Amino acid sequence: MKQVEGGRMPQNLAAEITKILADITAKCQELATRKLSSPADMLGFERDVEGLKTEFGNRVSAAVIRANVERLDQEKPRGHRHDGSTSMGMRSTTFRLLGGAKVKVTARYCLPVRGEHRGRRRAVGRLGQWGRGWYPALVQLGIQDGATPALASEVAWHAAEAASMEVAQQALARRGVKMDRKAIRRLAYRYGQRSLRLRDALIQAAGDRESAGPLAGKRVVASVDGGRCRVRSGEKRGRRRAKTRHRGYNAPWREPKVLTIYTIDERGRRDRRELPLHDKTMKDADSVFALIVGYLRLLGAADAAQLVLIGDGARWIWDRLDRLITAVGIPPERFVAIVDYYHAVEHLQKAADLRENWSATKRKDWMARNKKHLRAGHVETVIQAINDLCVGRRAKAMRTERNYFARNAERMRYRTFEHRGLPIGSGAVESAVRRLVNLRLKSNATYWLKQNAEAILHLRAVLKAGRFRGT
């Protein structure tokens, strides 16, 4: 990668910009005289114009950033303490711009005050958690991890959108940003972690909201479901492999919980004029519940015309309904809980499959008959049909399926829900699970550290919902 040349920024920034404009103007005049006679000529011309635009952006950005870094450092003299740190003098450092160029600047470097951190001193060259220094002027401008905010946002976008870090690397290279995969991963993970901290801070402050939120007066649906990905746990152990000399590690399957919130029209269809909200967490059921409540409070769901919660019948969801209604602050008469119809049909099929002595025709007829009862909301008829089958050695398993319907009977009045213009399926969150988890994290020989999976999934959730703003 070509490095932008130049040392300390001259006092007159306008003169520096004028010089850059003169250089670019001369190159533009040279391009204007080029004769185009073939597609190859046209291709080369367009690429040269694009390169000229990038060069102009890189040089102007470098000049302005240097001038502002110098100004910020002069505002706090040598020896001044910066938020619990002490100045170590001026040092050179390098970072990248959105255009891909590297910029070298000289800025004030600070370290934490030694007396504020207990424990043994680290060896030379071992920074550790408490030995890492920073450049206050660069941090104030949002330049972290060797990249400007715009570049960090672009890298995070590609890392979340692409099927792998390798594909993200190729996409960035096509726009002139050549980075190795390790740097891309580092930028994306840290960007995602900062975004998660910002999300948690907003949700934490959701209870202080006084004005009506964007969901006020609307019909709102919240739905949650789980995906699957493999997460590395524990230290590497065992013998080294003969070929790679690497040790193995445990990578059990984990279930990231995906949340989606969207608005619906009078017919129960998703309102395409409103952007949905997607998010996820790798944590336990209590954390998922807190995330749902936090978002609903943040968006003002307490003032919604109707709030619908759709799930697959998992106990961890429905056992917390009363707490959810209280925490969100919505009146119970405006809250509706629905078990996804298609998950209910799956349980009906499990009950039919337990009758191993049935012929295929008898099983099909039984399913067709009870699916009609279920869709009509006649859950008691379905329960009785399953109860009649609770005999023999499969009786215990059959009672489990019967209890599923008995426990969720009031959440399966599908004919009533349809007449009220409410959705009876969780297709929106099922689609979100596929796009967020399966197409990015779930693939052969792909294992994630939990915190990295959390960061990438959060970025991808924001991106797929159309809410990625790059800030």
CA distance 158 to 150: 13
Contact between residue 90 and residue 106 where contact means Cβ atoms under 8 Å apart:
yes
Q: Is the pTM of this model over 0.75?
A: yes
CA distance 317 to 319: 6
Q: Tell me whether residue 232 is exposed, middle or buried, using C-beta atoms within 10 angstroms of its C-beta: 0 to 12, 13 to 18, 19 or more.
A: middle
- Range 57-80 burial, b when 16+ CB lie within 10 A, else e: ebbbbbbebbbbbbebbeeeeeee
Q: Which CATH architecture has domain 212-337+444-464?
A: 2-Layer Sandwich (3.30)
CA distance 86 to 114: 9
Residue 221 pLDDT: 95
Residue 451 pLDDT: 92
Nearest to 53 by CA among 32, 34, 27: 27
Helix (H) or strand (E) holding 234: strand 233-237
pLDDT 10s digits, 372-386: 999 999 999 999 999
Q: Span 339-358, mean pLDDT?
A: 94
Q: Tell me whether residue 31 is exposed, middle or buried, using C-beta atoms within 10 angstroms of its C-beta: 0 to 12, 13 to 18, 19 or more.
A: exposed
Residue 129 pLDDT: 45
Q: In what order do the strands lie in the sheet with 257-264?
A: 277-281, 257-264, 219-226, 306-311, 335-339
pLDDT 10s digits, 203-256: 888 765 556 789 999 999 999 988 888 888 766 666 777 777 777 777 888 889
pLDDT 10s digits, 413-432: 999 999 999 999 988 899 99
Residue in the block written with tokens 């000399």? 245
173-174-176-179 Cα dihedral, nearest 10 degrees? -10
